[in-house]
Structure 1
């Protein structure tokens, strides 16, 4: 239970840091890339055995970690944009509603049965993402604004099912820090490649403020994944229970933080979306 609670805490901190990026005019992409290298170093610090670089490509989790690294940089960037443009609670709901993807993946990977309640939960989740994404304002709501939370939804769900699969099939308890570090390193490398491509049109400018922001993001980012993987390995909780408790708590916590500290205004439709989100997670856990 402690590992799960710590994962919830650090995951919630990520959304708060993203919101602060906008407040302090942080260049999101540069800070995200710096964050991954910081997270990699934190993981290596917690890895007890000597790191033999030449052996890493032969690890059974190598390809999976490489794929996750690519997803991390893409989803993190889209998540940051969602938090800034649509609000912390919207990004949180879109991320946590992605629980439907591990549920569907469980049907094919682990022969789990999709009950009528879980089917209803999936439908409610889709409506939740829609309602939570509608913002108040003078302008007319455009359906294309749903693209950001939808991409977060798909990307986060793919990451969840991949973490579950890799942990159960290939990653031992002792290698969790090394696995996490390599995944973050891969994400950072992909980010650098992306920046170098952009540099052809826009010169790279190193900003100390972006690096500091990356440090503040990298520490909770590492521990959110580290403790989630450890929680998935606990025998006294099922994977469905872990993902359910984790997602509900983060949705509630980040929503409260958004209202109290960032003065986010939620419409009645937003509250409906958040309520549907909680209901859908509970239904999928039953």
Structure 2
């Protein structure tokens, strides 16, 4: 379900460019909708003092800030280095939570599983790099993909750490809502500043796009956390299968519905992605 929701996000983003949606405005509305979705999904009575005293509150606030920062960094990376570089930097970040799970939580390792993870990293690079050549990055722009790589990895690693130590099953919706809520607050401040300076042109199209994005965005996090709580799968398995599957589904959707052209190495990457998923899943 997390893969499905995340892949749906990809489709919606692709439609943004087709209908000239203001991405930043839609992202802010998306955070508001995602926060609202979490509140509605929370079955217990919402008590502000309980949330304020929750062990995960400050971490959720920090993640909300990181969500906004990474979004902007991905936009800058795309502008400076190209979409392929941004995609590779984001998806290759699975190495961080995978290593964290193996080192900190001493998750199971074996030749088949480790080989599958390494193949997954190769598959991510080859599938995401939709250019005839390889990666070409100017030294002065290298910092941006590095920050995207680190930031994306920190988000996934933090979700695993908080899920393991602080977030009980019933708190998953309100925990997710809090993350999106703080991201929304920061975004609203930015939009307010633009409104004051006269640079804001809010349109119904952007609001509608944000609503369409917010619901699957919430469920992509919600179901990822639920998957991490599955006692039959460790985090290395979950993150590898989740990230590689998202890239695989997104690429195939791009080919089938958006007429994207793939190079030979992209098809090889798709084959490797399927092999890596089978290898990692086989070790569950």
Same fold flag (TM > 0.5)? yes
- Conserved in 1, the CA contact under 8 Å of 2:73 and 2:144? yes
- Which of residues 10, 13, 22 is equivalent to 1:27? 22
Supply the distance in 1 between the matched residues of 2:170 and 2:92 (Cα, whole angstroms).
30
- Residues 135-174 of structure 1 correspond to what in structure 2 (within 5 A)? 135-136=131-132, 142-144=136-138, 150-174=146-170
Distance 1:242 1:128, change over 3 A: closer
- Which of residues 14, 18, 21 is equivalent to 2:9? 14
Supply the distance in 1 between the matched residues of 2:270 and 2:146 (Cα, whole angstroms).
15
Q: What SS class does the counterpart of residue 216 from structure 1 fall into? A: helix
Q: Could you tell me which residue of structure 2 aligns to residue 233 of structure 1?
A: 229
Is 1:175 matched up with 2:171? yes
Is 1:215 matched up with 2:211? yes
Supply the distance in 1 between the matched residues of 2:62 and 2:11 (Cα, whole angstroms).
26
Supply the distance in 1 between the matched residues of 2:232 and 2:120 (Cα, whole angstroms).
29
Which sections of structure 2, spanning at least 5 residues, go unmatched? Answer: none
Q: Could you tell me which residue of structure 1 aligns to residue 39 of structure 2?
A: 44
- Conserved in 1, the CA contact under 8 Å of 2:64 and 2:182? yes
CA drift at 1:113: 7.6
* Higher mean C-alpha deviation, range 276-285 or range 245-254: 276-285
Distance 1:76 1:278, change over 3 A: farther
Supply the distance in 2 between the matched residues of 1:86 and 1:196 (Cα, whole angstroms).
30
Supply the distance in 1 between the matched residues of 2:132 and 2:209 (Cα, whole angstroms).
30
CA drift at 1:149: 5.4
Distance 1:220 1:50, change over 3 A: same
Q: What SS class does the counterpart of residue 143 from structure 1 fall into? A: coil
The number of residue pairs the alignment matches comes to 278
| Structure 1 length-normalised TM | 0.81
Q: Could you tell me which residue of structure 1 aligns to residue 244 of structure 2?
A: 248
Is 1:97 matched up with 2:75? no
Which sections of structure 1, spanning at least 5 residues, go unmatched? Answer: 1-5
CA drift at 1:79: 4.8
CA drift at 1:233: 1.3
User: How large is the RMSD of aligned CA atoms in angstroms?
Assistant: 3.5
- Conserved in 2, the CA contact under 8 Å of 1:13 and 1:220? yes
CA drift at 1:194: 3.1
Is 1:192 matched up with 2:188? yes
CA drift at 1:13: 0.5
- Conserved in 2, the CA contact under 8 Å of 1:34 and 1:211? yes
- Conserved in 2, the CA contact under 8 Å of 1:97 and 1:281? no
